[in-house]
Amino acid sequence: MYNLDPRIFPSRKARTHEVCGPGADVFAFTLAARIRGDVMWVQERWEPSQINPNGFVEFIDSASLTLCNTKDQTETLAVAEEALRSGAISLVVMHLTKSLGLTEGRRLQLAARDGKSTGLAIIPDGMGSNSAETRWRCAPVFDSRFISQDSTLQKWELIKNKSGTLGVWHVRWDPASRRLIVVSPTGK
The binding site for another protein (CB under 8 A) comprises: 22, 25-26, 29, 38, 45, 48-58, 61-71, 75, 78-79, 82-83, 86-89, 139-144, 149-152, 154-155, 173
Burial of 186 (0-12, 13-18, 19+ CB in 10 A): middle
Q: Cβ of residue 162: shortest distance to another protein, in angstroms?
A: 28
Q: How far is the CB of 163 from another protein (least distance, A)?
A: 28
Helix, strand, or coil (residue 44): strand
Closest to another protein by CB, 69 vs 99, is 69
C-alpha closest to that of 3 among 169, 187, 186, 182: 182
CA distance 106 to 27: 23
Shorter beta-carbon distance to another protein: residue 112 or 161: 112
Closer Cβ to another protein, 5 or 47, answer by number: 47
Largest alpha-carbon pair distance within the chain?
Answer: 48
Give least dist CB 32 to another protein, A: 12
